[in-house]
């Protein structure tokens, strides 16, 4: 009886304290809008300062700070083509105070190549939004010997250029070799996109596969032959999709669809795995509000130049990543075979 009386007395005393002080019990959930006020958010960037992904991140950081009442500190982690930053974000405390922005193509390519230093599982991140949808195209020299798909398919000993053995260029070039059945090798080690484009222009290599660069096209360095997609790119409506030029097997079609869904070059905004559902929903709602805000869109357009930006919700991004992960083993097997045959 004494024990029961003590429990009742304790409960009544707690109630009196709450009424008197207005303080809820410590374990009562705090609404996300209140949680962020006055706190510090670490926003991890995997992009070098000044490039598009980083410029978009800076815009996001400003709006995130203004809309949450938190201070936002940008931490740049670019080592290993951004894998340093993605590994860091993957292992971060899932409290909503560590978020990150990366280029989608980088960290997905790392997993397709099964890079051991990529310690993350891309389908497990808490996706908040995606900005942009930059499709991949195959480029040759405007004055080169090969101006059509038929000419490429009839040629021998073609050379396609790339920067790193397991990067975006290599992955895209290997896809083109498979789809067109080319007699070709991918050579790596070029110091950036500009170096590859100049090598194409000088006739040192046949071509390469990358996202559109209007500046290089207008400068006469490169010429697009086709888009690695099932439909034409709105940014390059005069350039045919690869499906207009060749017939594809079901396996080849699956590869092309991979390039126009998960492997489009976009800017991803995400949190670590296991972000509390209410905080993830709060951040997604904020991101959706930004996309409807004319001021935000103008800021993005100002740094993106001629690109017309598309905005994808976190829910849609998450669905795409889960679908990609489901077929990852098959894609890895395809590219392992291509690497053995076509990467110099």
What is d(CA 201, CA 155) in angstroms, rounded to the nearest whole number? Answer: 18
Instruction: Confirm if 55 and 303 have CB atoms less than 8 A apart.
Output: yes
pTM: 0.85
Torsion of CA 4, 7, 12, 16, to 10 degrees: 160
11-35 average pLDDT score? 61
Domains and CATH numbers, the chain: 40-134+265-329 (3.40.190.150), 136-261 (3.40.190.10)
Position of tokens 């130049």?
A: 305
What's the pLDDT score for residue 93? 98
What's the pLDDT score for residue 308? 63
* Three-class secondary structure of residue 38 per DSSP: coil
Sheet containing 311-313: give its strands across: 71-76, 40-45, 98-103, 265-271, 126-134, 311-313
What's the pLDDT score for residue 342? 97
Instruction: Confirm if 255 and 249 have CB atoms less than 8 A apart.
Output: no
Give the confidence band of 26 by pLDDT, cuts at 50, 70, 90: low
Phi, psi for 242 (deg, rounded to 5): -60, -30
What is d(CA 207, CA 85) in angstroms, rounded to the nearest whole number? Answer: 31
For 29-46, what is each residue's pLDDT tens digit?
Answer: 789 999 999 999 999 999
DSSP line for 111-142: HHTT-TT----GGGSEEEEEEEEE-EEEEE-T
What's the pLDDT score for residue 212? 86
Phi, psi for 238 (deg, rounded to 5): -85, -5
């Amino acid at each position: 009886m004494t024990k029961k009386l003590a429990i009742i007395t304790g409960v009544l005393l707690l109630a009196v304290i709450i009424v008197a002080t207005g303080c809820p019990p410590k374990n009562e959930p705090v609404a996300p809008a209140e949680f962020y006020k006055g706190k510090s958010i670490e926003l991890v960037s995997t992009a070098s300062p000044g490039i598009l992904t980083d410029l978009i991140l800076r815009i996001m950081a400003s709006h995130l700070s203004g809309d949450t009442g938190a201070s936002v500190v940008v931490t740049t982690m670019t080592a290993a083509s951004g894998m340093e930053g993605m590994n860091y974000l993957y292992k971060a405390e899932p409290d909503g105070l560590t978020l990150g922005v990366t280029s989608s193509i980088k960290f997905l390519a790392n997993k397709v190549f099964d890079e051991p230093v990529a310690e993350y599982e891309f389908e497990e991140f808490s996706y908040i939004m995606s900005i942009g949808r930059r499709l991949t195209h195959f480029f040759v020299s405007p004055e080169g010997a090969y101006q059509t798909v038929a000419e490429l398919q009839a040629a021998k000993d073609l050379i396609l250029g790339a920067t790193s053995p397991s990067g975006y260029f290599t992955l895209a070039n290997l896809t083109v070799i498979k789809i067109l059945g080319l007699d070709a090798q991918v050579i790596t080690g070029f110091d950036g996109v500009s170096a590859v484009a100049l090598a194409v222009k000088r006739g040192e290599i046949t071509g390469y596969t990358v996202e559109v660069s209007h500046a290089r096209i207008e400068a006469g360095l490169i010429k697009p032959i086709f888009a690695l997609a099932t439909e034409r790119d709105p940014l390059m409506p005069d350039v045919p999709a690869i499906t207009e030029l060749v017939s594809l097997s079901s396996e080849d079609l699956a590869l092309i669809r991979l390039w126009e869904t998960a492997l489009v070059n976009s800017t991803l905004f995400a949190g670590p795995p296991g972000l509390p559902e209410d905080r993830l929903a709060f951040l997604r709602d904020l991101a959706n509000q930004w996309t409807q805000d004319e001021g935000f869109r103008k800021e993005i357009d100002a740094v993106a130049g001629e690109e017309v930006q598309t905005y994808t919700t976190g829910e849609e991004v998450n669905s795409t990543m889960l679908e990609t992960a489901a077929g990852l083993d098959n894609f890895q097997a395809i590219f392992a075979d291509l690497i053995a045959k076509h990467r110099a």
